[in-house]
Amino acid sequence: MALIGVIGAAVILLLVSMPIFLSLLLPAIAGLSWLDLSMPPVSVVQHAVNGLSTPALLAVPLFMFAADVIAGGEIADRLVALMEAAIGHIAGGVAIATVMTLMLFGAISGVGVAAIVSIGPIAYPVLLKRGYSRGFALGLILSGATLSMLIPPSVAIILYGLQANQSIAQTFLAGLGAGVVFAVLLIIYTIVYVKINSLANVQKFDLALLIKSVRRAALALLFPLIVLGGIYGGITTVTEAAAVSVGYAIIVEIYVYKRLTWRKLIGIARSSSRIIAMVMILIVGGSLLTWYLTLEQVPQLIASLSIFDDSVIVFLVINLIFLVAGMFVDVNSAIIILTPLILPAALKVGIDPIHLGAVISLNVAIGMVSPPFGMNLFVGMATFKLSYKEALKGIWPFLVLMLIALAIVTYIPASTMWLRDVLY
């Protein structure tokens, strides 16, 4: 009865719009200390502190801060200019360039919302000028921004690796495979859209402009090479790479591009620290609730159900759970709470946990653009001054594309695991 009460209390608190960290924290503390397990309060506090003491977890706030620094600087502008100079002359080139820029930005930041506020204001008016509809431009940017949740160094994948106790470096590679699958679908859809709407391409290829754009974006292009090269070259850990990304972003933006000043950087740090604090307290609440559910053997109970005897069914159930959760719950909370609960069932039927990480990351990426509460929808509405109805109208074709990508990534493991298998 106590277990049902704890789960029910968490659900009710979420439904009445209680802050998510309290919706997780209060029922967990009640279950651990008073209702059922009678844990000493000091043990509960120790577990909460230990949940934040994992060295790899430090990568999360560092990558988030680096993303905010980049969003406030000039790296995004130079990446957009480079992609437009490189492929803007082909059919659908501006839209494809937007997708490629969002992929590159993902390889720098690992945070999807930052891509919207940095790439969006640059790409959106250009797309409209080239004849793309407002809905297409919005949907492309909002859905393409979720590539940052798949392309390493994805914060979502770091959280999954910590919760599932899996190699973050290997899961990064699986996430990259999933990101490529979705990016290819976006490009194919763009080409079809251009042909159906007979959009003419007025831009000509200019080699001199391309060379100039490459030179201007050289330091931005070095960013992912330094971060990911350090990780896979065995030079740095993921956490050390995150620290390098912060230092590199600050040096480039302040001393080379000179878009930022130290005064502006302090303002960015204050804003970023508030968001990071929210994520950290979510991790505390989620880890305590997960600990309680684990002590109550909920993961084992789920794995023992007869429905979880076939990998196809297990994947279907996992996708449905995460898709529904993504519509209502913060992405980080969904990963922290649900991953330990469904992992035993996945392992029972032989699902590779690295592959599972890519599937879960794509699920929560879909949640970022899913009504009614997808974060990217509201950020897009504020950034592009559009109504909720316009945002929904623009995003639905891209939601279909994301679901197709999810089906491919889920049931064709080679589509996302090939790079991991080659390197490991």
* 350-359 residue pLDDT tens: 899 999 999 9
The alpha carbon torsion through 20, 361, 70, 56 (nearest 10 deg) reads 80
* Position 45 confidence tier, pLDDT thresholds 50, 70, 90: confident
Instruction: Please check whether residue 373 lies inside any domain of the structure.
Output: yes
pLDDT confidence of residue 73? 83
Instruction: Please check whether residue 375 lies inside any domain of the structure.
Output: yes
Domain count across the chain: 1
pLDDT at 423 > cutoff 70: yes
pLDDT at 1 > cutoff 70: no
Instruction: Please check whether residue 411 lies inside any domain of the structure.
Output: yes
pLDDT confidence of residue 251? 92
Instruction: Please check whether residue 35 lies inside any domain of the structure.
Output: no
pLDDT confidence of residue 20? 75
pLDDT at 114 > cutoff 90: no
User: What mean pLDDT is predicted for residues 147-165?
Assistant: 89
pLDDT confidence of residue 290? 81
Can you give the pTM of this predicted structure? 0.86
> Domain span at residue 64?
52-260+296-423
pLDDT confidence of residue 36? 60
* 200-230 residue pLDDT tens: 666 777 788 888 988 988 888 888 888 888 8
User: What mean pLDDT is predicted for residues 62-89?
Assistant: 84
* Position 21 confidence tier, pLDDT thresholds 50, 70, 90: confident
pLDDT confidence of residue 205? 78
* 314-341 residue pLDDT tens: 999 999 999 888 887 778 888 888 898 8
Instruction: Please check whether residue 16 lies inside any domain of the structure.
Output: no
Instruction: Please check whether residue 3 lies inside any domain of the structure.
Output: no
Instruction: Please check whether residue 327 lies inside any domain of the structure.
Output: yes
- Higher pLDDT: 306 or 416? It is 416
Instruction: Please check whether residue 304 lies inside any domain of the structure.
Output: yes
pLDDT confidence of residue 37? 63
Q: How far apart are CA 58 and CA 243, in angstroms?
A: 9
* 367-420 residue pLDDT tens: 888 887 788 888 888 888 888 888 888 899 999 999 999 999 999 999 999 988
Q: What percent of the chain has pLDDT over 70?
A: 97
Q: Report the mean per-residue pLDDT for the chain.
A: 85
